[in-house]
Amino acid sequence: MPTDDIPDLDAFLDGVRQRNSGEEEFVQAVGEVAADVLPFIADHAQYRQAQILRRMTEPDRVISFRVCWEDDNGDIQVERGWRVQNNNAIGPYKGGLRFSGNVTQSVLKFLAFEQTFKNALTGLPMGGGKGGSNFDPKSRSAAEIMRFCQSFMTELYRHIGPDVDVPAGDIGVGSREIGYLFGQYKRISGRWEGALTGKALAYGGSRLRTEATGFGVVHFLREMLENAGEELEGKTAIVSGSGNVALHAARKLIACGVKVLTLSDSDGFVHDPDGIDEEKLDWVMTLKLDRRGRISEYADEFGGAEYHAGKAPWHVACDLALPCATQNELDEDGARALLDNGVMAVVEGANMPSTRAASDRFRKAGILFGPAKAANAGGVAVSGLEITQNAQRMFWERDKLDDMLTALMKDIHDKCRADGEGEDGRVDYVRGANIAGFRKVADAMLDFGVM
């Protein structure tokens, strides 16, 4: 007899924990989704009987491989590479590659799981995947990074392709690394095809892709504020990180009349009470993207700004907070400080930047809280549009893409609202994103039967 008992959350997570021993980030990400989806499937027998949630928590496959390369001293280095192909029910796997010393299989499985829901929310035909390596490009020369990327792609190429799996960048993988990876894919496969996104314009990239995640986060934030009868103009914001997402989110905030007070990196944060304006941000862009410098240098350059080594910015009073660096960077203490200082909205630019305890606090406090899988989906959405442009051998103009991104983020906001609005009119965006993303993938899986 088939069973359609609904396990409680603890029992469900015990099973996930046992099957994925030691993979704490993955268990955390599943727990956050299951907390909303289990009550939902209690009223939807079709998903329950087909064990859809249980099936979604098992990646389609996890590919792990050796990456061997020679450093500038002629020494042989050995790293590990992965591609997690989580779910391709609604389209080819899609999700970035992360190169960082703290990459583990658990981190990539959590990211691929989250990506599945995020990609579903965009409305575009993209499944969820993620990959990367524990290789840390930070202390490496350009020649070493090139050799590593070529070695990495020499294995990865057999698992990807425009109709199979389309990786992109993420932490540690920017346009330089995408160039090396795409060049090697093209060389080995003998084909020019859109097997990667985040490419430079010269060889098939999309306009606006670089800016899309950060800009999209601010579009989502504006929608949340407007839905609550508020507006961006005149607010103060703290932003963490100083990478692709953080800097473009800051750029859009400034353009919308918001005073941006902070930026950070993994060594500490800078607080500029006068606000980081366009000119200062241009300087940071050159510092981080061209010179690969540290954010501490900002305080030496601009009088009035203070650098706080080894700290995150959450204790700085603000109306809006945008964690845009990395997972679990915003803990319960940070959440408490933000709430005590009267924060009005928190919107996640990074993937899972809030710990479970922090996100529970925001939801309980009833502030506007935009979860990553909805708020930072603008990047992958424009990646989806890059795939379409490559398939058509077309380049679309920036204005057209900007309009599409704005409309996509509004649509994602509205989907979250439709599934997350309570009787009092308040929107729980976390619940809305989890349920809307789940339903889209689940309905496709139901149509395929048992597999």
Catalytic residue check, 415 = no
How much helix, strand and coil, in percent to the nearest 5, is found in the chain?
Answer: 50, 15, 30
Query: Which 138-177 positions form the footprint of ligand NDP (CB under 6 A)?
Result: 169-172
User: Based on CB atoms, which residue is closest to ligand NDP, 154 or 240?
Assistant: 240
Query: Which 368-387 positions form the footprint of ligand NDP (CB under 6 A)?
Result: 376, 379
**Rule CB under 6 A: is residue 329 a binding residue for ligand NDP?**
yes
Residue whose C-alpha is closest to residue 344's, from 324, 325, 322, 327: 322
- Residue 97 · residue 61 · CB < 8 Å: no
Applying CB under 6 A, among 28, 77, 266, 296 the residue interacting with ligand NDP is 266
**Rule CB under 6 A: is residue 216 a binding residue for ligand NDP?**
no
Residue with tokens 């939902």: 40
User: How many residues sit close enough to ligand NDP to count as binding (CB under 6 A)?
Assistant: 24
User: Based on CB atoms, which residue is closest to ligand NDP, 29 or 445?
Assistant: 29
Question: What one-character-per-residue DSSP string does 172-191 give?
Answer: TB-HHHHHHHHHHHHHHH--
We find the least distance from the C-beta atom of residue 130 to ligand NDP, in angstroms, to be 9
Residue nearest to ligand NDP (CB): 243
What is the spatial distance between Cα 431 and Cα 427, in angstroms, rounded to a whole number? 9
Query: Which 235-264 positions form the footprint of ligand NDP (CB under 6 A)?
Result: 241-246, 264
User: Based on CB atoms, which residue is closest to ligand NDP, 17 or 294?
Assistant: 294
Residue whose C-alpha is closest to residue 191's, from 161, 167, 164: 161
We find the least distance from the C-beta atom of residue 435 to ligand NDP, in angstroms, to be 21
- Residue 27 · residue 426 · CB < 8 Å: no
Which amino acid belongs to residue 220? F
Q: Name the 3-class secondary structure at 280.
A: helix
What is the spatial distance between Cα 235 and Cα 347, in angstroms, rounded to a whole number? 14
Report H helices in 241-351. 244-255, 278-285, 297-301, 332-340
We find the least distance from the C-beta atom of residue 395 to ligand NDP, in angstroms, to be 19
We find the least distance from the C-beta atom of residue 220 to ligand NDP, in angstroms, to be 12
We find the least distance from the C-beta atom of residue 269 to ligand NDP, in angstroms, to be 9
- Tell me which stretch binds ligand NDP (CB under 6 A): 152-160, 182-190, 345-353, 360-368: 345-353
Residue whose C-alpha is closest to residue 194's, from 213, 168, 170, 212: 168
User: Based on CB atoms, which residue is closest to ligand NDP, 133 or 213?
Assistant: 213
Q: Name the 3-class secondary structure at 405.
A: helix
Residue with tokens 């698992």: 159
Residue whose C-alpha is closest to residue 338's, from 309, 379, 367, 311: 367
Return the half-sphere exposure (C-beta side, CA atoms, 13 A cut-off) of residue 334. 21
String marking each residue 287-326 x if it binds ligand NDP according to CB under 6 A: -------------------------------------xxx
Pairing label, strands 320-323, 306-309: unpaired
- Residue 337 · residue 363 · CB < 8 Å: no
Token output for 217: 């986060």
User: Based on CB atoms, which residue is closest to ligand NDP, 79 or 170?
Assistant: 170
Pick the catalytic residue: 94, 109, 118, 130? 130
Applying CB under 6 A, among 114, 165, 265, 419 the residue interacting with ligand NDP is 265
We find the least distance from the C-beta atom of residue 78 to ligand NDP, in angstroms, to be 23
Query: Which 170-209 positions form the footprint of ligand NDP (CB under 6 A)?
Result: 170-172
We find the least distance from the C-beta atom of residue 82 to ligand NDP, in angstroms, to be 15
- Residue 230 · residue 344 · CB < 8 Å: yes
What is the spatial distance between Cα 31 and Cα 37, in angstroms, rounded to a whole number? 10
Residue whose C-alpha is closest to residue 246's, from 207, 205, 206, 287: 287
Return the half-sphere exposure (C-beta side, CA atoms, 13 A cut-off) of residue 23. 25
Catalytic residues: 130
Q: Which residues make up the interface to ligand NDP (CB under 6 A)? A: 169-172, 213, 241-246, 264-267, 324-326, 329, 349-351, 376, 379
